[in-house]
Amino acid sequence: MSRPQRVPRAQLREEILRAAGQILSREGAEGLTARAVAREVGYTAASIYNVFGSMSDLLMELNRDTLLRLEELFAQLPDAADPAEKLHHLTAAYIAFMQQNPALWQAIFGGLRQREQFPDWYVAAIAGLKQKLAGLLGQYAPGLSAERADHLAEQLYVAVHGAVALDLERRLDLLTRQSAVSVAAAVLDMILLSLRSAS
């Protein structure tokens, strides 16, 4: 049943985001419908669309919070660690986040895509994460060009992403008995070895 009283738009927005986040964590992007959110907060589905133009827009806002949480992983790296240790620590922390929050992680790349282009802030947030990763690779190999560091960061991210995606789909064992963490660590070690050999 919808609520008869009107509430400030900002409050309604926060209530919708909170409820949508709970649904996303519980049921994944497939369960994130206007009806489900409306049922959770006690408003009409029309109210959801009045605040967020589409469910895709609502999911983008939920993903904003997830991207911020991923950015915090860099801030939590141990200060005293050398770049290689930081990279291994970051890789393990990222995988742990993915495994503990599969619906949130999958929504970043596998959620609703009702648009040809993502918002500028969304693309910039992902690029920012990639740049931070490239920066750590640059610390490990000071002579590394920015372009090469960027390419290696992309390759590392895609490799880790693929290993964990297979793990979450319970398909990794079709290819290997190694854990996703072990696979990711081995890929990282190969990248670091190639950088040492080139220096």
DSSP state of 4: S
Q: What is the pTM of this model?
A: 0.84
Q: Which domains, from first to last, does the chain contain?
A: 1-53 (1.10.10.60), 61-198 (1.10.357.10)
Q: Going residue by residue through the chain, which has 199 residues, state the pLDDT in tens, using 9 for 90 and above.
A: 445 457 788 999 999 999 999 999 999 888 999 999 999 999 899 999 999 999 989 999 999 999 999 999 999 999 888 999 999 999 999 999 999 998 988 888 765 555 567 889 989 999 999 999 999 999 999 999 999 999 999 999 999 989 988 998 899 999 999 999 999 999 999 999 999 887 6
Of 141, 137, 161, 165, residue with least CA distance to 151: 137
- Helices vs strands, H then E, count in the chain: 9, 0
Residue with tokens 């040492």: 196
